[in-house]
Structure 1
Amino acid sequence: MTDAGGDAITYVHAPEQHRYEVRDGEDVVGFAQYRLPDDEHVDFVHTEVDDAYGGRGLAGAVVEFALADVRDRGRRVIAHCPYVARWLTKHPEYDDIADPAR
């Protein structure tokens, strides 16, 4: 994805920050924050995208990127973040790795 300025929107895992990031060039413009409650789960706690980038589907794209990575790593998802929880209800293809938030 490319913005009006020509920079590419990219999605990266930043494990040292416990989040998956949306970047516009070098700038972080959104993220899906998580915690690691145990050796099996990735618990998503907050997702946000800068207002200037709203309405472009970036939050959904970073969540999809994150969940694909979680699956590839053989882990499971917990969604305490309301956005991630709603996203999961619309994407049953991730039911196999989703556990309820407690």
Structure 2
Amino acid sequence: MTDAPEIIDNRAANRFEVHLGGETAFAEYRLEEGAIVFPHTVVPPAFEGKGVGGALVKHGLAYARERHLKVKPTCSFFAGYISKHPEYHDLVHPDFRSKLGIEN
């Protein structure tokens, strides 16, 4: 993909999605009081190496920031991405900061 993928908020399924060639990559989310949980991300082989996984994470984190939600990254993909990108550390819910190695 040369352009940024189009990400759809499928509210009925509680997930952000990218569609390509009949396949769907997605990041599930669950809204809580003042927080958003990201429990699972799926990127099919057809999407690998195209930046789709990273785009889904960035979209989810932008969604959280815009709505002043703290992020609970129970998905290892989200947790790993956030750990490597300090610009998102402020979004992490206090209960998850030590798990990600983020100082308070």
- In the alignment, the residues of structure 2 paired with residue 74 and residue 28 of structure 1 have an alpha-carbon distance, to the nearest angstrom, of 31
Per-residue CA shift, 1:31-71, capped at 9, x if unaligned? Answer: 001122x3111110011111111111110111101110111
Query: As a proportion of its length, which structure holds more strand?
Result: 1
Which residue does 2:12 correspond to in 1?
16
- In the alignment, the residues of structure 2 paired with residue 76 and residue 28 of structure 1 have an alpha-carbon distance, to the nearest angstrom, of 30
Give aligned-pair identity as a percent. 38
May I ask how many residue pairs the two structures share in their alignment? 96
Aligned to 2:28, the other structure's residue is in SS state strand
- In the alignment, the residues of structure 2 paired with residue 75 and residue 9 of structure 1 have an alpha-carbon distance, to the nearest angstrom, of 24
Where does structure 1 lack aligned partners over 5 or more consecutive residues?
A: none
Where does structure 2 lack aligned partners over 5 or more consecutive residues?
A: 100-104
Aligned to 1:96, the other structure's residue is in SS state helix
Structure 1 position 11, deviation (Å)? 0.8
* TM-score, length-scaled by structure 2: 0.80
